[in-house]
Structure 1
């Protein structure tokens, strides 16, 4: 019921303290090659956005405080738009940003991903990269107009593989620069980049604006992924309706539409991430959570990678204190003592119990072979097997009529 008389109305708002859910799965990053900026003055000082400097944002206001405002996107930059969409999708998000205006090619910018992750002490779980560069979509041949994206995917593949080796696993989301919805999609599913996804979705109205003609909505994807459990598909209709301010209608990079409905299937099979609608329900949704690898791979979807990466971080954290520790062996045959086997198995299971309780995995198994010869190798081998959660990508219903008269005879 509204106020009956003139009054001073107080609305209680939340989020000003920047408190975050104690969950690092949402920690994300945005890498771009924009210009320096200066935020509004607070007293005699103002915050500045500088090259090769890591900043951590808890809200869109934090970005605006650095001078990343709507006008920052003039001239083909999209950092403000991407940050705004990230926090729209996940208001509780945690976002690192880093820029390098000296990166003159898409692939060279992607090479900064490892440096950014290192500066963030490995906290970034998913990283989106946007590049302000020449629009090649007018080129006639597919390899030519999409070449800069293909080179960026190759660089991102190297970056994600190196990040995993350095115990700082992350996913990388790239704009499909130069994508043309009217042309046959360039194959990306066989690249073998399981930690990389190419996004060609863009709000149809935004895609026609001068600033965003060669930009994809990677900020929307980044926000959705950061909001999801590591095991959840961001195409889940019940949870991930993408429509909202700045993203209202299905569209593609460059503002062109697919020529036929069948073209959606072709694009999906090629492993691109785009948006679609569904008959019978309002809203805009992702088609799937593809990565740039064949669909037969265990890591063909973003959630599979995120689940494994989270488990790898937890298991390593649990076992790291045991490095260089003494290991008891059976004095008769040199095999592992039962207490060692049991202790290691218990340690790994305890590390992953939270994922099991949270429904991020279905089950887990840990095996330490007691017959391994640690006296000769100084290596203790542990096998951890995870049974992931499934995803109902297709639901099949057998529907027909039934005549109860036959039963009454």
Structure 2
């Protein structure tokens, strides 16, 4: 018989289409260096090898980066660790979430699996709530030239890893910044992306969100072009900063709270035609070159990207907080909310593992007093979340007919009513003769 404990699982309620703790802000950022064959053998990587190779590092402020050899882009390959990309994203993270915090980083070869995520979560004692994965592996692949669309890559593997961590009571949300500029094929990779062939990333992967887009500025262009793999720099540092700054029920696309103009003066996708000419990509798909139909199509396919709104010229925002799922857990906010309740309820119940459970002697079933006690334990946690406006409501159910004498198992069920989000606001306007 397995060890006792408190084991949490989620259910999908088929519901259709505010304060935080320091624990909710704990964040991870994994840099997959599998496409950098000599990363720790030369230049800045060699200089930082003893500190970074195979190691999970906790960073609490930008002051920690200098000793690690993580510096801003300078166009000197002997100084710039991964072309300055790690510094860029870490700076965005601390700039948005606050000058100090808990960010766990790791540089690892993830070409065969995502075991580095396990290592990071262990190093953080299971406390990482949101994890960014920056990788140069291709986001899309083409196995059949006659196919109407590419196929999505990487998401399934990351979903599987996150699901296994959730089963181990260390749930997290993963935001993925992969390489959309290079299409993987059976032969030579392709650097020309056809927008019409971009596939949907909504494949039932509730723990994963796919990011697209990056800042349009000279440094970002230089960092991408300096990399032989022409991997877009992306926006993962800003996404993680927004998540760490947000209350669990809040969307990182909330216009009033998350204006990113200070970090992205303008926007491009970073893919299109990634052939380099005159120190620039032939086409990087500037945001201004995409029409509403193309942007709506990317949104419908589940991607989260940087965007602008007409009338707010001085603003840059994330489009949504969509996950790769269209079920109950279709947003990062809903996942973070259920993850918070899961951690809190489990911690509250752990002291009662292997505790005596008084039963009604006339039935052999759990006593009313014990049912009330356990209902109150869970309700107290969820009431606090409701008072903080992290959830709209909840219910806690304990079947009074449980035969704990027979199976030594207590089953508690609770459901959350999430906070809604105004992703779309529709207004009907017109002229009238009177105001009645």
Superposed CA offset, 1:253-284 (max 9, x none): 33224643211111001000101111112200
Measure, in 1, the Cα distance between the counterparts of 2:344 and 2:391: 13
Contact 2:139 2:178 in 1 (8 A): no
Indicate the SS of the match to 1:231. Answer: coil
Counterpart position of 2:93 = 86
- 1:274 maps onto 2:278 in alignment: no
Counterpart position of 1:131 = 135
- The correspondence for 2:269, drawn from 245, 252, 255, is 252
Q: How does 1:156-235 map to 2 (within 5 A)?
A: 156-179=158-181, 182-184=194-196, 186-205=198-217, 206-209=219-222, 210-211=225-226, 213-215=230-232, 216-235=234-253
Indicate the SS of the match to 1:78. Answer: helix
Contact 2:393 2:417 in 1 (8 A): yes
Indicate the SS of the match to 1:194. Answer: coil
TM-score, normalisation: structure 2: 0.77
Measure, in 2, the Cα distance between the counterparts of 1:169 and 1:77: 30
- The correspondence for 1:285, drawn from 317, 321, 344, is 317
Counterpart position of 1:15 = none
Counterpart position of 1:304 = 334
Q: How does 1:1-150 map to 2 (within 5 A)?
A: 22-33=21-32, 35=39, 49-71=51-73, 73=80, 76=83, 78-91=85-98, 92-100=100-108, 103=109, 105=111, 108=113, 110-132=114-136, 150=152
Unaligned runs of 5+ in 1: 1-20, 40-45
Measure, in 2, the Cα distance between the counterparts of 1:375 and 1:352: 29
- 1:371 maps onto 2:401 in alignment: yes
Aligned pair in 2 of structure 1 residues 267, 400: CA closer, same or farther (>3 Å)?
A: same
Unaligned runs of 5+ in 2: 1-19, 34-38, 74-78, 182-191, 272-283
Indicate the SS of the match to 2:347. Answer: helix
Count of aligned pairs: 372
Measure, in 2, the Cα distance between the counterparts of 1:129 and 1:394: 29
Aligned pair in 2 of structure 1 residues 112, 211: CA closer, same or farther (>3 Å)?
A: same
Contact 1:79 1:130 in 2 (8 A): no
Give 1:23 shift. Answer: 2.1
Aligned pair in 2 of structure 1 residues 94, 402: CA closer, same or farther (>3 Å)?
A: same
Measure, in 1, the Cα distance between the counterparts of 2:391 and 2:417: 6
Measure, in 2, the Cα distance between the counterparts of 1:136 and 1:401: 49
CA RMSD of superposed structures (Å): 3.1
Contact 1:207 1:253 in 2 (8 A): no
Superposed CA offset, 1:182-214 (max 9, x none): 522533434221100111121122553214742
Aligned pair in 2 of structure 1 residues 151, 320: CA closer, same or farther (>3 Å)?
A: same
Indicate the SS of the match to 1:161. Answer: helix
Superposed CA offset, 1:110-146 (max 9, x none): 3311221112110110011112568999999698997
Indicate the SS of the match to 1:291. Answer: coil
Indicate the SS of the match to 2:338. Answer: helix
Aligned pair in 2 of structure 1 residues 219, 237: CA closer, same or farther (>3 Å)?
A: same
Higher mean C-alpha displacement, 352-361 vs 68-77 = 68-77
Give 1:403 shift. Answer: 2.8
Indicate the SS of the match to 2:357. Answer: coil
- 1:262 maps onto 2:293 in alignment: yes
Contact 1:207 1:252 in 2 (8 A): no
Aligned pair in 2 of structure 1 residues 111, 339: CA closer, same or farther (>3 Å)?
A: same
Aligned pair in 2 of structure 1 residues 203, 142: CA closer, same or farther (>3 Å)?
A: farther
Counterpart position of 1:9 = none
Higher relative contact order (CA 8 A, sep 6+): 2
Measure, in 2, the Cα distance between the counterparts of 1:144 and 1:199: 22
